[in-house]
């Protein structure tokens, strides 16, 4: 038996240390003048139907972040190449406090200068306050040279220089410095919450896992059921979240949830875009605001947290046998994912009909209340009700 526990511990530690992080499956953005790392990420491309291309230069804008980096990355693609030795200038404006105005004291804008030469493209970024004061500059060979196209360039701006924190909503738009109607998006702006911070120490997680496993084994062997259940369920939930945060499983659940939500919303004539290398990010057109916003399906809104809590409570519940735990676990996970889809549909519907000013209320109030109601029902039918029935039978048979 001791040998069995030893092998279980070895397998747990190896799985934690060798478990692939999300960065292995989602390529990091790098400022190197190469653009393969932008494929499949969030972008907006101008629809040029019935538009005069002579008055347009901008074709598309991509944006994104890397895990554990407080940096905003952007990539611009032009309709036509810039001639060698010539310069193209554009302007990206930031509404930092998300109030729909770009002239507040905290707001910023950046002038971006792109100049392709033979085998490289020089990019210069000047960050200004809303009043025009120069705050910072960044430069590098971050664009295509005339030899390789001369129409794409990338750049980044640190969040600290914008005075933005990771979970904060901001708005932005890109425009040409010389052509008045050359604008991305074509109308309005884009609302975006950059990214959740992910920091993990695998050695610490492995140590905590061994400590949790040892405690569970001791409590189980001594049949101290109440403390065994609390220790095992709570510990499993924390370790589940630590291990799967930023993993391939989380990214796939977020992406598949976003894809399903995309098709469901299109069925109700709500225009959306989804991207294969931007897990859980959906670009939704808000008709009442005549503009776009991003809906981020992260670990909180993907159902991963709730699944971890549910599995901890079911898998270590002493009153259930092994097969019942497995069946209830599968049924509960399917139910949680379905409930989460309903929640997201309601959140998007509220924002779509009420505007982006309802973003906070839709997520933090209505979405959570609805999901909480569904979870209470799930626990009632899978845990509370069967337990009460079993207690009643034991009392009657006593």
Q: How many CB atoms lie within 10 A of CB 217?
A: 17
Integer Cα distance of 99 and 31 in angstroms: 31
Residue 21 pLDDT:
45
Integer Cα distance of 199 and 206 in angstroms: 15
Residue 171 pLDDT:
93
Q: Is a pLDDT exceeding 90 seen at residue 372?
A: no
Q: Is a pLDDT exceeding 70 seen at residue 144?
A: yes
Q: Which residue has the higher pLDDT, 129 or 244?
A: 129
Residue 382 pLDDT:
85
Can the peptide bond before residue 89 be classed as cis, meaning omega within 30 degrees of 0?
no
Query: Domains plus CATH for the chain?
Result: 30-192 (2.60.40), 224-397 (no CATH)
Q: Is a pLDDT exceeding 70 seen at residue 5?
A: no
Q: How many CB atoms lie within 10 A of CB 377?
A: 12
Question: Predicted confidence band at 241 (pLDDT cuts at 50, 70, 90)?
Answer: confident
**Which residues have a Cβ under 8 Å from the Cβ of 119 and sit 6 or more positions away?**
145, 147, 148
Highest mean pLDDT among 193-202, 235-244, 248-257: 235-244
Compute the average pLDDT of residues 308-332: 88
Q: Is a pLDDT exceeding 70 seen at residue 49?
A: no
Q: What is the pLDDT of residues 147-203, one digit of tens each?
A: 888 899 999 999 999 999 887 889 999 999 888 788 898 888 999 988 766 666 667
Mean pLDDT of the chain: 84
Compute the average pLDDT of residues 117-139: 94
153, two tokens: 């360039």
pLDDT > 90: percent of the chain:
29
Q: Could you give the 3-state DSSP secondary structure of residue 133?
A: coil
158, two tokens: 């640190």
Q: What angle do CA 394, 397, 398 make, to 5 degrees?
A: 80
**Which residues have a Cβ under 8 Å from the Cβ of 40 and sit 6 or more positions away?**
275, 276, 277, 278
Selection from 294, 72, 93, 66 nearest residue 161 by Cα: 72
Q: Is a pLDDT exceeding 70 seen at residue 389?
A: yes
Integer Cα distance of 22 and 28 in angstroms: 10
Residue 67 pLDDT:
78
Selection from 268, 263, 266, 295 nearest residue 279 by Cα: 295
Q: What is the pLDDT of residues 69-86, one digit of tens each?
A: 899 999 999 998 998 888
Q: Is a pLDDT exceeding 50 seen at residue 260?
A: yes
pTM as predicted: 0.74
Q: Which residue has the higher pLDDT, 214 or 181?
A: 214
Question: Predicted confidence band at 390 (pLDDT cuts at 50, 70, 90)?
Answer: confident
Residue 384 pLDDT:
82
Q: Is a pLDDT exceeding 70 seen at residue 15?
A: no
Integer Cα distance of 22 and 20 in angstroms: 7
Question: Predicted confidence band at 271 (pLDDT cuts at 50, 70, 90)?
Answer: confident
Compute the average pLDDT of residues 85-101: 91
Any idea which of 9-23, 48-62, 303-317, 353-367 has the lowest mean pLDDT? 9-23
Residue 366 pLDDT:
84
Integer Cα distance of 48 and 56 in angstroms: 9
Burial 185-202 (b: 16+ CB within 10 A, else e): bbebbbbbbbbeebebee
């Amino acid at each position: 038996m001791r040998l069995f526990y030893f092998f279980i511990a070895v397998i747990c530690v190896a799985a934690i240390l060798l478990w692939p992080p999300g960065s292995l499956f989602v390529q990091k953005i790098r400022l190197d003048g190469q653009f393969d790392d932008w494929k499949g990420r969030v972008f907006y491309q101008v629809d040029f139907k019935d538009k005069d291309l002579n008055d347009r230069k901008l074709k598309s804008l991509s944006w994104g972040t890397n895990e554990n980096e407080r940096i905003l990355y952007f990539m611009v693609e032009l309709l036509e190449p810039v001639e060698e030795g010539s310069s193209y200038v554009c302007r990206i404006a930031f509404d930092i406090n998300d109030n729909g105005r770009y002239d507040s004291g905290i707001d910023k804008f950046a002038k971006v200068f792109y100049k392709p030469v033979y085998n490289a493209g020089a990019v210069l970024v000047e960050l200004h306050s809303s009043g025009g004061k120069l705050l910072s500059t960044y430069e590098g060979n971050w664009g295509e040279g005339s030899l390789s196209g001369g129409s794409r360039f990338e750049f980044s701006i640190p969040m600290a220089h914008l005075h933005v924190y990771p979970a904060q909503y901001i708005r932005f738009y890109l425009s040409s410095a010389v052509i008045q109607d050359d604008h991305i998006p074509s109308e309005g702006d884009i609302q975006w919450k950059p990214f959740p911070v992910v920091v993990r120490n695998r050695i610490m997680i492995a140590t905590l896992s061994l400590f949790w496993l040892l405690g569970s084994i001791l409590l189980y062997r001594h049949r101290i059921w109440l403390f065994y259940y609390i220790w095992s369920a709570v510990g499993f939930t924390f370790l589940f979240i630590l291990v799967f945060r930023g993993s391939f499983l989380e990214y796939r659940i977020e992406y598949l949830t976003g894809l399903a939500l995309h098709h469901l919303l299109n069925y109700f004539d709500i225009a959306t875009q989804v991207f294969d290398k931007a897990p859980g990010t959906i670009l939704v057109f808000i008709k009442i605001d005549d503009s776009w916003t991003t809906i981020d399906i992260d670990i909180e809104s993907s159902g991963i947290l709730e699944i971890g809590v549910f599995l901890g409570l079911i898998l270590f519940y002493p009153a259930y046998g092994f097969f019942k735990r497995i069946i209830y676990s599968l049924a509960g996970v399917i139910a949680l994912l379905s409930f989460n889809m309903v929640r997201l549909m309601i959140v998007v519907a509220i924002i779509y009909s009420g505007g982006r000013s309802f973003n906070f209320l839709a997520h933090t109030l209505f979405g959570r209340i609805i999901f909480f109601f569904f979870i209470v029902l799930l626990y009632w039918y899978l845990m509370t009700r069967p337990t009460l029935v079993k207690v009643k039978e034991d009392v009657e048979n006593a």
